[in-house]
Structure 1
Amino acid sequence: MFTVELYRKVRQAYFRQGMSKRAIARHFGISRDSVDKMIVYSVPPGYRRTAPVKRPKLDGFSDIIDQWLREDMGRPRKQRHTAKRVFDRLRDEHGFSGGYTIIKDYLREHERRGREMFVPLHHAPGHAQADFGEALVVIGGTERKAHFFAFDLPHSDACYIRAYPAATAEAWVDGHVHAFAFFGCVPLSVLYDNDRCLVARILPDGTRQRATLFSGFLSHYLIQDRYGRPGKGNDKGSVEGIVGWARRNFMVPLPRFATWGEFNTWLEEQCRKRHADVLRGHGETIGQRLQRDLGAMMPLPPAPFDACDQATGRVSSQALVRYRTNDYSVPVAYGHRDVSIRGYVDQVVIGSGGEVIARHPRSYDREDMVFNPVHYLPLIEKKTGALDQAAPLVDWELPPEFQTLRRLMEARLLKAGRREYVQVLRLLETFDLADLHVAVKTALRMGAVGFDAIKHLVLCQVERRPPKLDLDVYPYLPRAKVGATSAASYMCLMSGGAA
């Protein structure tokens, strides 16, 4: 290929010095055709194809290849024809005698022609996009998959990120509620994909049948919901970019936090720090552009939306209620009753007759059983033989003083002492474990190992008043006293008269 410098010299010789084309060709040692091209073009124009590429060995087979590629469009991406598979089928099924390279070049050209083109978009203030992403994190010392909610304002590029154990419908709504609180406003519209937590069904005319919880959320905040085309993530490219950016910047290296709450507090701080950044193509910070977004958005309603899934259930004979494949305990007094269930992202709340009867941390395992041991104590008081085999009490970690109390009670009253010990545990239905623990330690120190004494002591602990126990007046409050052993007591065993 000739250089730009040669082009300059040839053009100067022709236009400035008046040399003929024949003389120029002779002087520079180039062909007359090259001289003609250099007179027309000021710089080398590069190779220009004047006729389509001819592939004689592929003629007659291109229609077969195109048919296979059209059929591939309705199949999973990982089960579509590769260039190698096309080559093998053409050779084995149709007698193709050409090489692999022309097949590969044809498929590359076919893919280039089929690539989608996009229109640059303008994002008006006050509108948002939302999506979920995934990343590995370490919570409480255990590596877990985090599903993080990403909320983006494309006009200002301000974002909000919040992580959850699972991308449930409750997590979608809870993420919005926290994002609105973070920005202090509600966007005019939010663009979504067609996640099943949001869209129960796409009707034939293209309209969306919204999921029940999501529909209530939209009604509460009066947001216009918009949706991208099914399977087209580029329709909401702004939030898709935020998902990747958050994964690279917030999740590398693996975040390590004791709880999900601490992790989300840290994520909020990172989102707030990002407001000081100036992105490429902008002369203002994200925070400065965010003011225009906030000015166009709607005010928050008086109260946030209750982001929970609502269901109903029936208490089983084992005082368990099933929710999302897991069983949660309720007090045994509510056995065989119908109850209402509210599933939040972090807890499950069970109610009956307008009152809350149980709260549990939510489990995201399958076929898990979540117990509150206190729920079963009234039944165990009647069936004290089940005390050591009751599944709800197996992993119940009580302070060691409680085991000492039980041993003393059973040593004094046997089976009745076991029942009295369960009565002490039932004080947890009214009092905190910390207060009851103090009362038990005080009772052991005083030698008063009865239920009435411990109940009196825990009341004094809660009311911050000194206890008034007179063991001489109340003989049913025995003083537990173990005397020191004397060697002289065993001397009779050594004498012959002992027989």
Structure 2
Amino acid sequence: MDLARKVRLACAEGMSQREAARYFNISRDSVSKMMAFSTPPGYRRTAPVKRPKLNGYTEIIDTWLAGDREVHRKQRHTAKRVFERLRDEHGFTGGYTIMKDHIRERERRVREMFVPLAHPPGHAQADFSEAVVIIDGVEQKAHFFFMELPHSDACFVRAYPAATAEAWVDGHIHAFAFFGKVPASVLYDNDRCLVAKILPDGTRQRATLFSGFLSHYLFRDHYGRPGKGNDKGNVEGLVGYSRRNLMVPVPRFTTWEAFNTYLEEQCRRRQADVRRGKSETIGERLARDLAAMTELPAAPFDACDQATGRVSSQALVRYKTNDYSVPVAYGHREVWIRGYVDAVVIGCGGEIIA
């Protein structure tokens, strides 16, 4: 999925399909398939590359390189010197390339990253948080999706009953529709709805639904350091602002839709404000953000979890621990299931049955 997203993004930025095939070292048929589908079928690597020849030697290499921090920079191990010592002192029989690849990956893991405080237009930060609300007379915990454009401080806020992967994606779709454009990049934390796993080299293995969403809208995703909320300080500030200004007193609405309509109105009103230290309104600076952002795709992404099931003898379909009733005429048949933020749709063939 990541390769497909990179190929689609490169072609969207002007690279031809022939050039993409040559650059990514894949066939032109594969490029055509990736451009035709947001989530193209095909083989994906499921595990990191294995280097059995290095087994037992990586600890030695890491010890040498860790010790290099205490010596003068001009007397530290080069990859060539590490290879020679492994071969001469420890009987290493592997190749130079696999040893050098390990050193490169190790250096990437330990290298510190910084997020700049000067924000160019066209980029965004996103987060989820919680607050207590009253919906239809019932006090409950609401989960809020936040997106802020740090250059202009323009924002979007939307509430959900739960912070699910579908809510994350649905929040993005509504935010993009609110701004009318797609940011060039979005900065996130490492929420499990977005990142399935952080690999040893720091690479993020994206969740399936979120990866398909990225491929559809073709923007860059960046991630802060685990446990370092200050890496995306602008949207963290928006969370605090929203709690103080939009959640006090405790919001009371008849429906979630009415509540979200109110939140959207407040986001629009905020665009007339002039932030401290700025001479222009948020709306005036937003114009520069929008000029640097890309157009929306022809159709929005279908923000749903996809699954399959079978109708039981009692005309029930099981989906995520819940049973859903369908017409008895579909008993014992295979069905498809789409789980949205606020609904579950069940179909058989090309027909929706529940």
TM-score by length of 2: 0.67
Tell me if 1:329 matches 2:325: yes
Change (3 A) 1:217 1:210: same
Partner of 1:163: 159
Partner of 2:208: 212
Query: Which structure: greater strand fraction?
Result: 2
Question: Structure 1: how far apart are the matches of 2:148 and 2:315?
Answer: 44
SS in 1 for 2:276: coil
Q: Deviation of residue 120 (structure 1)?
A: 6.7
Structure 2 segments unaligned to the other structure (5+ residues): 1-113
Post-superposition Cα deviations, 1:82-132, rounded to whole Å, max 9, x if no partner, equal: xxxxxxxxxxxxxxxxxxxxxxxxxxxxxxxxxxxx987100000000000
Change (3 A) 1:258 1:119: closer
SS in 2 for 1:276: coil
Letter in 2 for 1:284: E
Question: Structure 1: how far apart are the matches of 2:343 and 2:164?
Answer: 13
Tell me if 1:139 matches 2:139: no
Tell me if 1:232 matches 2:245: no
Alignment length, in residue pairs?
A: 241
Aligned 1:276-291 pairs, distance under 5 A? 276-291=272-287
Runs of 4+ in 1 over 4 A off after TM superposition: none
Partner of 1:152: 148
Structure 1 segments unaligned to the other structure (5+ residues): 1-117, 359-499
Of structures 1 and 2, the one with the larger relative CO (CA 8 A, separation 6+) is 2
Q: Deviation of residue 287 (structure 1)?
A: 0.4
Letter in 1 for 2:245: N
Question: Structure 2: how far apart are the matches of 1:286 and 1:327?
Answer: 48
Partner of 1:180: 176
Question: Structure 1: how far apart are the matches of 2:179 and 2:116?
Answer: 27
Question: Structure 2: how far apart are the matches of 1:236 and 1:199?
Answer: 16
Change (3 A) 1:353 1:256: same
More displaced stretch, 183-192 vs 322-331: 322-331
Query: Which structure: greater helix fraction?
Result: 1
Partner of 2:217: 221
SS in 2 for 1:176: helix
Partner of 2:74: none
Change (3 A) 1:191 1:213: same
Tell me if 1:254 matches 2:250: yes
| Identity between Structure 1 and Structure 2 (%) | 80
| Contact 2:125/2:188 (<8 A) preserved | yes
Question: Structure 1: how far apart are the matches of 2:305 and 2:347?
Answer: 14
Q: Paired residue for 1:263, among 259, 263, 270?
A: 259
Partner of 1:198: 194
Letter in 1 for 2:261: T
Aligned 1:25-424 pairs, distance under 5 A? 121-358=117-354
SS in 2 for 1:162: strand
Letter in 2 for 1:205: D
Larger Rg: 1
| Contact 2:115/2:231 (<8 A) preserved | no
Question: Structure 1: how far apart are the matches of 2:303 and 2:252?
Answer: 27
Could you say what the CA RMSD is over the residues aligned between the two structures, in angstroms?
1.2
Question: Structure 2: how far apart are the matches of 1:165 and 1:272?
Answer: 23
